């Protein structure tokens, strides 16, 4: 007998759609909604049921999942005039995968508690590729008993799942991750520009450093994409800019200075001014290179061979 809960998912961007497909593949009954009706309908070919509004979806499900762009959308879906919280049954569970402010998540949690609804704040590390294979890293803010109850579902999506505190703390940890990534991409651009202007072959620099103390994960993942001028977009530059702004707001709220984040953020502002918002976030490194009059694509033939061997 199948005792899996009925799930509803609102937000079918690249990550949300990959999460939906993973859950469908695991045998869950899934209702979906997105502002783009055609995107929701397309998932019916994979076994989902498209529902016209989040409100109607909330009335049908045991667990209400969201993967949305930010605070404004979370407020609209959960608390606004057509908010889902009013229509979820007592005992239901909310799981949010979005990157947003801790304050918004805490507000949703307060409103949900009044209605006897549990909240799981579960932003993720990774993208559609990791979601498709169940390899996301999950930073979960929830009550311990709720976390344990949700582990079968979270385990379908995540390779590593961490309980980091109550609702809202998942968002805190995710913003720290984004702060580190956003600043690091600027530093990578600075390092490559210095190497190029000093006459080094960038592919050789990449190989020499990737297993040393300077060769952390972003270096290993991003530098080959920069040297190949890859057009693949896994995470948009405009979203990294937004996440860094959320981190700066959090710093202001808790009285913790974030000067490196604020400085790095200006490079994202400059990239946006150039119309680069839809490009991969790592393209900010190329902007740093241009400011230094350095090119990242002029690898030697030997360097190209090294990259091809990756």
Residues 157, 138 contacting (CB under 8 angstroms):
yes
- How far is it, in rounded angstroms, from Cα 96 to Cα 247? 18
Cβ neighbors of 268 (< 8 A, separation 6 or more) are 182, 237, 240, 241, 244, 284
- How far is it, in rounded angstroms, from Cα 34 to Cα 41? 9
Residues 157, 134 contacting (CB under 8 angstroms):
yes
Residues 58, 44 contacting (CB under 8 angstroms):
no
Phi, psi of 8 (to 5 degrees): -125, 135
Instruction: Specify which residues 96 forms β-bridges with.
Output: 66, 121
Q: Is the dihedral of CA 69, 73, 75, 79 positive or negative?
A: negative
Instruction: Outline where DSSP puts E strands in the chain.
Output: 7-10, 30-33, 49-50, 63-66, 93-96, 118-121, 124-125, 136-141, 158-165
What are the catalytic residues? Answer: 174
Q: What is the DSSP letter of 236?
A: B
- How far is it, in rounded angstroms, from Cα 290 to Cα 203? 18
- How far is it, in rounded angstroms, from Cα 259 to Cα 50? 45
- How far is it, in rounded angstroms, from Cα 140 to Cα 96? 10
- How far is it, in rounded angstroms, from Cα 173 to Cα 52? 33
């Amino acid at each position: 007998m199948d005792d899996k809960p009925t799930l509803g998912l609102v937000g079918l961007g690249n990550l949300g759609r990959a999460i939906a497909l993973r859950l469908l593949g695991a045998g869950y009954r899934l209702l979906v909604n997105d502002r783009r009706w055609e995107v929701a309908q397309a998932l019916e070919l994979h076994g989902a049921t498209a529902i016209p509004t989040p409100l109607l979806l909330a009335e049908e499900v045991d667990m209400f999942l969201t993967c949305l762009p930010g605070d404004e959308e979370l407020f609209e879906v959960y608390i606004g005039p057509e908010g889902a919280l009013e229509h979820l049954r007592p005992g239901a569970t909310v799981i949010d995968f979005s990157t947003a402010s801790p304050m918004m998540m805490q507000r949703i949690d307060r409103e949900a508690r009044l209605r006897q609804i549990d909240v799981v704040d579960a932003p993720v590390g990774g993208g559609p590729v990791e979601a498709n294979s169940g390899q996301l890293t999950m930073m979960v803010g929830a009550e311990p008993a709720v976390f344990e109850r949700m582990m079968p579902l979270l385990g379908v999506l995540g390779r590593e799942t961490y309980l980091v505190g109550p609702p809202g703390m998942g968002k805190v940890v995710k913003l720290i991750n984004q702060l580190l990534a956003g600043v690091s991409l600027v530093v990578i651009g600075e390092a490559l520009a210095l190497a190029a202007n000093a006459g080094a072959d960038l592919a050789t620099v990449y190989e020499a450093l990737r297993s040393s103390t300077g060769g952390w994960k972003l270096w290993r993942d991003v530098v080959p994409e920069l040297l190949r001028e890859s057009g693949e977009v896994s995470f948009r530059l405009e979203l990294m800019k937004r996440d860094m702004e959320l981190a700066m707001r959090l710093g202001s709220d808790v009285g913790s200075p974030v000067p490196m984040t604020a400085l790095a953020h200006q490079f994202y502002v400059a990239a946006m001014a150039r119309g680069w918002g839809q490009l991969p976030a790592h393209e900010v490194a190329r902007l740093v290179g241009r400011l230094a009059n350095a090119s990242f694509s002029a690898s030697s033939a030997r360097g190209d061979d090294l990259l091809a061997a990756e």
